[in-house]
Amino acid sequence: MEPTVYFVIPCYNEEAVLPETCRRFTEKLSAMEQAGLIGKTSRILFVDDGSKDKTWELISQFNRENPWVEGVKLAHNRGHQNALLCGLMSAMPRCDAAISMDADLQDDIDALDQFVQKFREGCDVVYGVRNKRDTDTWFKRTTAEGFYKVMKLLGVDVVFNHADYRLMSKRALEGLSEYREVNLFLRGIVPLIGYRSDY
């Protein structure tokens, strides 16, 4: 039986990109379902992090018109990590796995098939890792590399060149739910959960 996969997308003032994001995800999920990678109960879960624009109105409209789309609205802006955690915890009781990614489509949507394939092969966590930074400016590339080096020096087990593009199985999500961190840094918490992982 095909797994139920939730695609969790935190949104903050994403009115300009959301229609294209929804269109691209709908096409991708439909293709994945037809290929037998995911089940019919899979969903796109947009999490509105207290946006001040028409993000929630768009999510509500997508939900009425598109059977793939669900939404969660936070009462006010809590920040990306809290919105992401809220979406993951909302998805956890209803999914076999959840994939988190940003609304701006900078993550490679075509890699979703590989995430699900690795999950079906037994991985509980699959990290989306950038294989090159050719399009980054010198400043961005240097500060990003510096960030990972500083985190490693501080003893944080963080995956190099990984943001929040990852798959987590229901079991891994349940492990994440046991953490009671206030100042969230999911990139540092997820590797501590354990279980089989891949990139």
Query: Using CA atoms, how far apart are residues 116 and 6, in angstroms rounded to an integer?
Result: 11
What are the residues facing 70 on neighbouring strands?
A: 45
- At 146 the pLDDT is 58
Q: Which residues contact 23 (CB under 8 A, 6 or more apart)?
A: none
Strand 43-48's sheet: what is its strand order? Answer: 69-73, 43-48, 5-11, 97-100, 162-169, 125-129, 197-198
pLDDT 10s digits, 49-81: 999 999 999 999 999 999 999 999 999 998 888
The proportion of the chain whose per-residue pLDDT surpasses 70, expressed as a percent, equals 78
pLDDT given for residue 158 in this prediction: 59
Q: What is the pLDDT of residue 13?
A: 97
159: which 2 tokens? 């995956």
Region of 36 on the Ramachandran plot (φ > 0 left; ψ -120 to 50 alpha; else beta)? left
On the question of pLDDT at 181 being above 70, the answer is: yes
Q: Which residues pair with 47 in a beta bridge?
A: 10, 72
| pLDDT mean across residues, the chain | 86
Helix/strand/coil for 177: helix
User: In this predicted model, what pLDDT tens digit does every residue of 73-84 receive, in sequence order?
Assistant: 999 998 888 898
Average pLDDT over residues 135-139: 61
pLDDT at 183: 66
Mean pLDDT of 95-117: 94
37 φ, ψ to 5°?
A: -85, -35
Query: What does the pLDDT read at residue 196?
Result: 82
Helices (H), 14-154: 18-34, 55-65, 80-91, 112-120, 138-153
